[in-house]
Chains A and B, each alone.
Chain A
Amino acid sequence: AQSVTQLGSHVSVSEGALVLLRCNYSSSVPPYLFWYVQYPNQGLQLLLKYTSAATLVKGINGFEAEFKKSETSFHLTKPSAHMSDAAEYFCAVSVNTGFQKLVFGTGTRLLVSP
């Protein structure tokens, strides 16, 4: 069964520093992978997705992620953190290409300090 693991429930960075949020997946078939962001008391917004095209995926708000099959990873990065990036981030894998149910990780809360 497909699953994702997010390492670190909380990540703290200073404004302007590199953001790195880790996600490892498990899948018996080529996965479709997603990163979503959730602000307090709101739904989820798609940052970016990997669907077997380019392994380096660029998303909104300056985020990008690289699919590494050998490491079964899909880590999310941003070169320079902004205060507005403080939120909860979820990695997800799409289960069964027809079904397209999402299986989410437990999330990583990003804290950005001035």
Chain B
Amino acid sequence: DTGVSQDPRHKITKRGQNVTFRCDPISEHNRLYWYRQTLGQGPEFLTYFQNEAQLEKSRLLSDRFSAERPKGSFSTLEIQRTEQGDSAMYLCATLLLLGRGDEQFFGPGTRLTVL
């Protein structure tokens, strides 16, 4: 247990439905990252926050995806009008920004299946 929690752990939904995932970071960590991992691949960066500010978004993050981190604590990732291609593991990672090469602590992930 890294101290980063994600909820739910598993989500099955029908195509076209909206889903929301939550990530609770280690309390003092000021950076929060979202990654997506498809079967047989490594995680791919989606977006990240410095406190409550969303500073960077990947081209993978279409306009159906939105992420928030109100008050710089927990974060949510919402997918609207889900598609079968959205099926993946969504990973949250957090770090305490100290300098360079800081360790990212990963949560257990939310596995999304879109039927």
- A residues lining the B interface (CB < 8 Å): 9, 32, 34, 36, 41-46, 49-52, 90, 92, 94, 97, 99-107
Contacts and interface: CB of A to CB of B under 8 A. Distances in A.
A100 B43 contact: no
Nearest to A101: B45
Is chain A's binding surface mostly helix, strand, loop or mixed? strand
A78 B108 CA distance: 25
Interface of B: 2, 4, 6, 31, 33, 35, 40-45, 48, 56, 91, 93, 95, 97, 100-109, 111
Contacts of B4: 43
21 contacts: A34-B103, A41-B108, A42-B108, A43-B4, A43-B106, A43-B109, A46-B103, A46-B104, A49-B103, A90-B43, A92-B42, A94-B101, A99-B48, A99-B56, A100-B97, A100-B101, A100-B102, A101-B48, A104-B43, A106-B41, A107-B41
A44 B106 contact: yes
A49 B102 CA distance: 9
Residue of B91, B101, B111 with highest tally of chain A CB at under 10 A: B101
A32 B100 contact: yes
A81 B93 CA distance: 28
Q: Which 5 A-B pairs have the closest CB atoms?
A: A104-B42, A51-B101, A43-B106, A32-B101, A44-B106
Given A46-B105, A102-B104, 12 more contacts: A41-B108, A43-B2, A43-B91, A43-B108, A43-B109, A50-B101, A97-B101, A100-B97, A100-B101, A102-B93, A104-B42, A104-B43
Contacts of A34: 103
B40 A106 contact: yes
A102 B100 contact: no
A40 to B, nearest CB: 11
A55 B68 CA distance: 39
A38 B105 CA distance: 12
